[in-house]
Chain A
Amino acid sequence: NAGVMQNPRHLVRRRGQEARLRCSPMKGHSHVYWYRQLPEEGLKFMVYLQKENIIDESGMPKERFSAEFPKEGPSILRIQQVVRGDSAAYFCASSRNRTPNTEAFFGQGTRLTVV
């Protein structure tokens, strides 16, 4: 049973370009969570999705960021018109159920660098 798969592992974008980060949850998991880790900081919750639905996006910046989790395929975190401040590690976690918390597994992350 493969773990949470994120790709790409590293992504370099120029300012103004779009970044698309993919997350394939573990088999049987229908809940996906995206977190962002800025340099030297802890992880910060961005968005929680369940198949085809955004459950909570309270941590998402209001502009340029969007997320989806279609019926088929991976969850996508999309960042439009990237700026240098978007440079961070983006982690996805998945779980089978909403709770308990211990059953969430994290992917290895995508490191976005904006140049």
Chain B
Amino acid sequence: DAKTTQPNSMESNEEEPVHLPCNHSTISGTDYIHWYRQLPSQGPEYVIHGLTSNVNNRMASLAIAEDRKSSTLILHRATLRDAAVYYCILTETSYDKVIFGPGTSLSVIP
């Protein structure tokens, strides 16, 4: 499985944008980039996913580098409820197992 690397932790001020980076230099041409997040004492929740083009949804934006070796999850205005561990994961098909790395622990400062 292609692996991803993320910073262990990041901080953001409330109401400011947050850019969470993910490196996946060994990504294959058919791997999708998924982002999930886990709030304290809850199961993970889906945030966004993409293949080549940048993606936007109500929660976040996903910016994918042209060579696809990295991507960035963008939270446009961080709120206290966005404090969570964010996981960047690669999967080829829906049938693939979702394997979690350490993720990035995001703290949001009021």
A is bound by B: no
